[in-house]
Every structure is written in C-alpha cells, then in structure tokens.
Amino acid sequence: MRQVAAAGMGQERGGNVFGGDEKIGVLATRRRHRRLMAVSIALVVVLAGAVAAVALVRPWTDEFRHGKLIVAAAPALVESAPRVLPARSNAPAPSPAGIAAALAPVIGNPDLGAFAGQVSDPNSASVLWSAAADTPLVPSSTAKVLTAAAALLTLPVDHRVTTAVVTGAAANELVLVGGGDPTITAEPDGKGYYSNGPRLSDLVAQIRSTARPVDTIVVDTSAYAGPTMASGWDPIDIGDGSIAPIEPVMIDGGRSRPLVRYSSRTTTPALDAGKRLAAELGLDPARVRPGVAPDGAVEIASVRSAPLRERLHDMMVYSDNVLAEAIGREVAVANGGEASFRGGVAAIHAALSAAGFDMSGVDMHDSSGLSVDDRIPARLLDQVVATAAKPNGVTAVQPAGTNAKPEHDRTAATLAPMLDTLPVAGATGSLTDRFVGSDREGAGWVRAKTGTLSVSSALVGYVLDADGRVLTFALMSNDRPPEVSRPALDAIAGTLRNCGCS
C-alpha cells in the first residue's frame, strides 16, 4: 500500500508512472479506501454523540467521581488583617540570674576572641548581664548606632540636603555646588541605589529651561573640609566597594555600577558627578574642572535629598559608610561645626553627651565605624538602644489614684524611630543571610545593627524573648576573623530569643 500510494503521488505530480489497467486498478483501490474511511468516521461521530447523550442524561454520581468520598462544602472566606502588635506590658521580667544561666554555654566560646557585651531590660531600665562592658573595643559599623542617635537628637526627621547649580564667574560657566548629598542618581528611570534619591535629570531639565548658553561645568566641593579619607581607612576599600573619598556631591555614592551594593567606587566622586552632568547636557566632559562658586552667584537649578528618616534607614539597613559620613557632617553643620571627619565625630559626641549618655571610653575617627582606630564600649551602644526601646518613653510611673499623666522621656521618644532602621534577622539588609542556617530561632525576632571588619564583629540591637519581654543587647568581638566570630555572636542573640529567664 505504501508503494501504491507513493506511486500515485508521483503520478499526480506529473510523472506518468503507470499505464492502462494499472492506473485503473489504483483508482479503484482509492475509492474503496475512501468509502471505508467515510463509514469509520460516521461510526465515530455516532458513538461520540451517544456518549454525549449518556453524559447529559445520566451524569456520573459523586460516589463514582470521588471514590465514594463525601465532598465537603467550601469553607467560609476569612479576611486576614495582619498587624504589628506591641510587646506585652505585663510580660514576666527576666532576672539577672536567669540571663546569666542561659548565656553561660555560649559566652565562653573561644571563637568570640576578645569579647564584651551587655544585655538590658528597657522596661525596667536595668542591666541584666554584662561582661567587660566598659572596655572600649573596635565597634566596626555598630558605630552607626551613635551616628543615627545623634542625627535624631539634632535634626528633624524630615531634614533634607540641597544640591544646587549656580552661575559661574564667566557667562558660559555653571557651578555644581555640593551640599553634602551622595544619593543623587543618574539612572534613566530615576531609581538609583538609595531610596528616593534626587535625580540628575531634574537638574538637567531645570538648566535647559533657562536656555542659558554654557560650555563649562565647575565643581565646588568647599562645603566639606579636611581630608577625604579618615584615619584607619584602607584605600583598598575604594576598589572593594566599601567606601569612596568623602566629597559633598556624588552619583549613587560614587559607585561604578550604581545599583550594586559593593560595587567598586571612583576616587574622584565629585568631579565625576560634574562630568556626568556635562554629558547629560551634551557638553564635553573635558570642560569640567574643580573650583568655587563666585560671590553673588545666582541659583538656576537645585534638587533635594530624601528626608533624614529615609536616609537613616538606608544607612542602617545596608550599613552604608558613605551615607554615614555625610550624615555625620550634616549633624556637625547643624551644630555650627566643621563638615569634616573631626567635626562629625565632635558633633556626635556632643549630642549624645547633652542627652545624658556616658561617653567615657569613646574614641572615634569617623562616623561610619570603618576605621580600625575607633573604640566604643559595649555599655554605651546597649544604653542607646535600651533608651530607644523604653515603652512609650515612660521613665516615671505616677502614684496610683492620681490623675497626673506619666512623665515622658523626650530622649527615648526621639530615639524610638531608630529601632525601625535595624535589619531583621534572616530577612533584610546586612542580616539577610544570617540566622538562616544555624540559630534559626532568632530569624524574624532579632533586629540588630551589624558590624564587620577583618579585626572586629559586633551585633547591637534588641529581641523579644520567649516570655514576650523586649531585651536589648550589645555584643562585640575583636581579634577573630568575622567568619569565625559572627556565628558565635548570632548564637548569643539566638539564646536571648529562646530565653524564658523570668
């Protein structure tokens, strides 16, 4: 049959393969096949119709379709209403003895190296446990806890920083004046590394709207004073993506890849910002140079940073060193000081001292904690977080039966927003990949600022214990590599979460 069909196909395409009777025989065979196929198709159609009729007339029973199982009715719809509830005010108070017993198995771990720590109960404003808490150690990025606290104590949470473009000394010049904002972005969609950072495109649009002829961009960095790198910083960290030279105007913190956290950074962030502005204006980047805005310069364009509350969040969650140094200088300027490493440190010290914190033992050389020369005692770090965690800021309970309102601690109320800037264990920021393998009991419960250098690891924050009580802690390890000391610190925080230490 295959040969006959093939031959027939060949003949139909013009090849005279068969002749006479052979051709007639092939045609007769084809007619029989067509009749058989027609009958078969008709039978299939009839059978399909019969099946459909049965299905319509006698549907399958529930017992057949579900194997004699009874089908339950659909459950009633439930509307979820997720919400964050405060810690219970009547949760059992932990005891120092209970905390000490719980921590005993983990605080002796040799992986902690030179170790110091403190645990407090902010509800009762009492220290529950401490070890070498007055000994100043390298804090690494937990120093940002002090920077954030000083900023909240000094500045309104909606404070913004302005970057301006003004007229230059010559008619064809514009001056980009840095005001202390490293968060400007040049990304086409306006979404850079930092949350709601100002857009370079807005500066460009404002400049173009003036129709002013320009061929030169001058970059003014005079808002900042002193060196651009702090004592105890390693220049290798620029290429490794931890820092950029601190200048008062940058594009996405000086990152070469704007959306990558640890992207390599430029060594000339302000000048690069000026070159990018020139390029967006269609100017020759070679016509960009450093300089100072002339007296009487007229502002023709400006953009403002995100509010302080958002910048503090980015600084803490992602442990951003450039942003920390900018905020340190912002605090210094607000206090009438110099916008420099020294000025920022002095302003932080003054703000915390004025709020009643004991600053003895503190020796800081930057606002970010990147310097290996920094020293802070665990006592101070814990005290700052414990103050922020005081319930409702209440420091004195009025006698029963009186109508007097509770006395509120203004410092506690002012610092409380800092608690929301701390990374969540196993979920956000610098704690995303921690508490996910071992010590998983702390995941979602521990919120803490991390600190990591080659010579230091630290963890400062708070946790809700098994009884529902808030505990604050400052844990610091020196002289051990972070891959060794960080798991040991996490084990302590996880133990505090499991602790029913009343």
Which residues participate in catalysis according to the annotation? 141, 144, 319
Asked if residues 352 and 361 have their Cβ atoms less than 8 Å apart, the reply is: no
Dihedral class, residue 27 (left if φ above 0, else alpha if ψ from -120 to 50, else beta): alpha
In angstroms, the CA 219 to CA 277 distance is 10
If DSSP states are collapsed to H, E and C, what string results for 11-54? HHCCCCCCCCHHHHHHHHHHHHHHHHHHHHHHHHHHHHHHHHHH
In angstroms, the CA 360 to CA 467 distance is 34
In angstroms, the CA 199 to CA 391 distance is 39
Residue 368 half-sphere exposure, CB side, CA atoms within 13 Å?
29
- As a dihedral over the C-alpha atoms of residue 423, residue 148, residue 229, residue 222, rounded to 10 degrees, the angle is 130
Largest CA-CA distance found in the chain, in angstroms, rounded: 124
166 has which bridge partners? 175, 299
Closest CA to 378 of 474, 488, 449: 474
289 has which bridge partners? 218
In angstroms, the CA 155 to CA 147 distance is 12
CA dihedral sign of residues 451, 456, 460, 466: positive
Q: Is 397 exposed, middle or buried (0-12, 13-18, 19+ CB in 10 A)?
A: exposed
* Residues found in the chain: 502
Closest CA to 448 of 470, 467, 421, 468: 421
Question: Tokens 């709207």 map to which residue?
Answer: 209
3-class SS at 177?
A: strand
